[in-house]
Structure 1
Amino acid sequence: MQQRQEGLDGVRDLLANVDAKLNQLRSIEPFFIDLSLRENPVGARVGQTLDEKLTILPKLRDFGFRNILLGTLDYSMPDELEVDDDFMMYLRDHDIDMSGCFVFTDIGISAADGSFTPSSSMIKMRDYGVPNTLHEIYLSDSGMAGQYDLPTLLRSIPASVDWLNQHIKGDDGGKPRILINIVDGCDAFAENPQRVCQVLRMLDGLAIEGVSIEDDRGTYLPLQVGAYVAIARQMMPAPHKILVHIHAGGGFENASVIEALLNGADGAWGGLPKRAAIIGHASLGELIANLVRVGNPHMQQYQLDQLLPLATRLQILDEEEVVPDDLPILGHNAYRLPLSFFRQVPDRAMDLVPEAIGGTYRYRICPVVSDEKVIAGRLAEVTGKPADSFPEPVLQQMIRLMRRELRAGKRIVYDEPEQLLALYQRASQG
């Protein structure tokens, strides 16, 4: 009896730990930097023109983002301007408010004699009038190769921060907000954690807002990302911010961001849609939706009824093709029911109904599993008639016919309107 009670106590402890983590996710007010103007176009087939960027920026502000990255000031070919340059110059020349706006810059170099040369991106940032920056460094051997060695980097980071604080006018005329982005952060932690900790300790003493850690290929497991964030938090306590940016290489990008938040990260940066530099990333659209899922009240500051349609429109703009059907949360099939059992409902734990993010349930005919309600729903979509106007015996006969026809070797896409109506006609004839 005592052994059984000890077992139950262990179960309660495990469930209490889950509840504590859920409460942590509910209570956090995450810090976001939206990159829909940069992250999404990078991996897109087409990208964004100046006019499109000017149209997108106010939509991002209206959605609720207070921190928005305008673009990257190309490091390798700075003399060949990009749309990002045109965009920032246009905002400057037309006195358009850039408060809360960021830009990617790389560090300048401090020579051994103490002289400092700011990077071309830092000079452009000053000239364009962008108030804040994600200031990029590399810490892995391969990332640093050809750029700087560790002593040079340790001299150059403080000098770059000092230059930015002296020459950049931040929000409301104050100091710029500087986040040091470790582009190869996960690689560096895995390869040389001592080096990363040395740099983080130094950063903790600088006049910066915090750091950002990337998994730029999306190959590290959530447990690794969580551990790296926990180490960074030890090295850089609050009020310094720690952000993450995770690509979708291994398919666990959203889990990695959740693990990062549970281990001390303050937030993330990314685009609202899924599209990113490679095959996708832990998008802010997905993260916001998942925080709504756990009941985080701070997500109400965003126009949630616009989340799904806005993210979808932005990705279609960048790609000039539809969002992949089976993309979780944001895809065409994410809320197309093949079977009534899969319907998410408002009062059930961890369900996220499509209406919560500006979507609606629709229906998809899958001949192996679709039931009467799904078939009626799809018929209503195709015909415009009420779902309850279709007789249940006919719906049941449609199920029987799909099974029989598949057994007979007929491979028919019943979800297509023409085939669905033909099936309904056959079923109506008995």
Structure 2
Amino acid sequence: MSSMQALENARAIVAQADAKLEKLRAIEPYLIDLSLRENPVGSNIGQTLEDKLKILPKLREFGFKNISLGTLDYDMPDELEVDDDFMRQLHKRGVDMTGCFAFTALGRIEHGVFTPDPSQRKLKDYGVPNTVHEIYLSKDGMCEYGKYDLATLCRTLPASIRWLRENIRGDHGSAPRIFINIVDGCDAFAGNIEDTCKVLALLAEQPIEGVTIEDDRGTFLPFLVGAYVKVIRQFLPPPFKVLVHIHGGAGYENASVIEALLNGADGIWGGLPKRAATIGHASIGELLANLARLGNPHVERYGMEQLLPLATHLQELDDMAPVPNDLPVLGHNAYRLTFSGFRQKRDRFMDLVPEAIGGKYGYRVCAVISDPEVIARRLSEVTGRTVDHFPEKVTRQMICLMRRDLRAGLRIDYDKPPQLLQLYERAARDSEPRNPPSAAADHASTVS
């Protein structure tokens, strides 16, 4: 192959990638926020009624139009949950629930008579206008959790949708918006595609808003999730909506969401923070940040400058503990520079400055990589003094000392204020002129 032909091929390959970027920039994501349910189910503690009453207005203020108030299709429905109290309280107070959803389960048909599931009755009693209605389609899921076979499901599903349409008053008195969530969606496509496609064909004839699928263990590769979404689109073209919900498991979750969007998905449902029923999920907060990174204009309808503080507040509320430092995008260390060359810039392709999501840069000293700028700025954080108070001659000597310490077998956490200040004083003694921060120790106790 000639160099000219190789160059043309390279341009064609990059053009394909650019076309994908343009598609992602143009998407107006359809989001159902689940911060009132997805995040607390992964917490060791959960949310109280008072917590939920305070959270809902914050979600509205952030810009969410679609909010799930909770789950009604849980085991032992007679033993109520906080979600029940929350929805009943909203209904009792006459709070506007436009755009609100709750999760419900399939009813039953016996001897030709349809009986709604307890969750469906609760949806009506609590005045919630919309629902994500859950089914199972993998062979194991239908048997173990659904307690039905395919024939029974195909008889019951239209009747269950009909009951919802006849008994639930939707937004502003309209028909309810009904999503069918295939809880074991990825498993169903992988192991029972024929039955899954039969049900999709059935759903194409139903008066529903759309379909969602889950990767509830977070184990399916992104290209598989993309392929399954593409199959759904063969049966449910627009205006049907297609959403995905991807748990963390193998580390694919956010990549899987991008693949889903590129293959026809409209958006996702999930919580704003990372916390989820597993070790995390592809959160709405991460998706909004990643779309902002691409220059998607539609994310500006949300309070992006509040994304990081709000997500942090919600996760800290749920866990009664700090957000894990090394969480991508939303963690404390996500925007603490260890090396100045890692700084993201506002106008550079694929960068997202922390200010865009309500954060700011911090600095973290790492013995092997940190450069004079990072060291000086971390010293500024610790002491409260300006960056120019710390001469480059001294910060460079600090780098030399860290290298020497490691070669001598000393493993010291220099990011901690006492150790950092001791290192500075050592370097200042080795440098001329000496310039130790005499007041530094007075500030160190207040900086973590």
What band does the TM-score fall into relative to the shorter chain? over 0.9
Measured in 2, the distance between the counterparts of 1:370 and 1:114 equals: 72
* Distance across 2 between alignment mates of 1:198 and 1:307: 40
1:393 aligns with 2:393: yes
Distance 1:382 1:152 in 2: 66
Separation in structure 1 between the aligned mates of residue 216 and residue 51 of structure 2, nearest angstrom? 27
Tell me, yes or no, if the aligned pair for 1:292 and 1:352 is still in contact at 8 Å: yes
1:304 paired residue number: 304
The match for 1:66 is 65
Q: Corresponding residue for 2:266?
A: 266
Q: Deviations over 1:95-118 (max 9, x none)?
A: 11111000000010123x421010
- Residue of structure 2 in register with 1:373 after alignment: 373
Which residue pairs with 1:152 in the alignment?
A: 152
Q: Which residue of 1 aligns with 2:178?
A: 178
Corresponding residue for 1:119?
A: 117
- Say if 2:241 is the partner of 1:238: no
- 2:85 aligns with 86
Match of 2:130 among 132, 150, 153: 132
Query: Secondary structure of 2:332's match?
Result: coil
Counterpart in 2 of 1:54?
A: 53
Distance in 2 of aligned mates of 1:185 and 1:388: 57
Amino acid at match of 1:143: G
Task: Tell me if the contact between 2:27 and 2:296 (Cα under 8 Å) persists in the aligned partners.
Answer: yes
Aligned-partner SS, 1:280: coil
Paired residue type of 2:112: G
Q: What corresponds to 2:352 in structure 1?
A: 352
Residue 37 of structure 1: aligned partner: 36
C-alpha distance in structure 2 between counterparts of 1:34 and 1:74, whole Å: 18
Specify the code of the residue in structure 2 equivalent to 1:63.
F
Task: With the length of structure 1 as denominator, give the TM-score of the two structures.
Answer: 0.98
Q: CA deviation at 1:176?
A: 0.4
SS in 2 for 1:81: coil
> Partner residue of 2:15?
16
Q: Is the 8 A contact 1:39 1:277 kept in 2?
A: yes
Shift in Å at residue 251 of structure 1? 0.2
SS of residue matched to 1:134:
strand
Corresponding residue SS for 1:242: strand
| Bigger mean CA deviation after superposition, 262-271 or 419-428 | 419-428
Structure 1 residues 187-236: Cα deviation after superposition (integer angstroms, max 9, x where no partner): 00000111111100110110100000100100000000000000000110
The whole-number CA distance in structure 2 between the counterparts of 1:29 and 1:130 is: 25
> 2:224 is matched with which residue?
224
Q: How many angstroms does 1:3 deviate by?
A: 3.5
* 1:293 corresponds to: 293
Q: How many Å apart are 1:406 and its aligned residue? A: 1.6
**Does 1:28 pair with 2:27?**
yes
CA contact (8 A) 1:75 1:120 kept: no
In the alignment, the residues of structure 2 paired with residue 375 and residue 3 of structure 1 have an alpha-carbon distance, to the nearest angstrom, of 49
Cα shift at 1:427? 1.1
Match of 2:443 in 1: none
Q: In structure 1, how many angstroms separate the alpha carbons of the residues matched to 2:96 and 2:379?
A: 49
Query: Partners of 1:247 and 1:199 in 2: how far apart?
Result: 24
Over aligned residue pairs, what C-alpha RMSD do you find? 0.9
Given that 2:247 and 2:281 are in contact with CA atoms closer than 8 Å, whether structure 1 keeps it comes out as: yes
- For residues 416 and 11 of structure 2, the distance between their equivalents in structure 1, rounded to whole angstroms, comes to 49
Report the AA paired with residue 175 of structure 2.
Answer: K
How many angstroms apart in 2 are the aligned matches of 1:267 and 1:110?
33
Give the letter for the 1:94 counterpart.
R
SS in 1 for 2:207: coil
Q: Report the CA distance between 1:7 and its aligned residue.
A: 2.2
Work out the CA distance in 1 between the residues paired with 2:112 and 2:73. 26
Per-residue deviation, 1:12: 1.4
The 3-state SS of whatever aligns with 1:309 is helix
User: Residues 73 and 105 of structure 2 are in contact (CA less than 8 Å); yes or no, is this contact kept in structure 1?
Assistant: no
Tell me, in whole angstroms, the C-alpha distance in 2 between the residues paired with 1:387 and 1:75: 55
Letter aligned with residue 328 of structure 2: P
Q: Secondary structure at the match of 1:144?
A: helix
Q: Is the 8 A contact 2:394 2:428 kept in 1?
A: yes
> Which shows bigger deviation, 138-147 or 218-227?
138-147
Q: Does 1:97 align with 2:80?
A: no
- Stretches of structure 2 that go unaligned for 5 or more consecutive residues are 431-448
- Cα separation, 1, equivalents of 2:152 and 2:396: 74
Deviations 1:60-108 (A, max 9, x none): 0101110000000143201000000000000000111111000000010
Q: CA deviation at 1:332?
A: 0.9
The CA distance in 2 between the partners of 1:82 and 1:123, in whole Å, is 15
SS of the residue aligned with 1:333?
A: helix
> For residues 309-361 of structure 1, what are the alpha-carbon distances to aligned partners after superposition, in whole Å with 9 as ceiling and x for unaligned?
11011111111111111110001110000111111111211011111111100
SS in structure 1 at match of 2:31: strand
Q: Are residues 1:251 and 2:251 paired?
A: yes
Corresponding letter in the other structure for 1:140: S
Q: How many residues align?
A: 428
Mapped partners of 2:64, 2:208: distance in 1: 21
Partner of 1:70: helix, strand, or coil?
strand
Tell me the distance in 2 between the aligned counterparts of 1:106 and 1:35. Answer: 17
With 52-61 and 340-349 compared, the bigger mean Cα shift is at 340-349
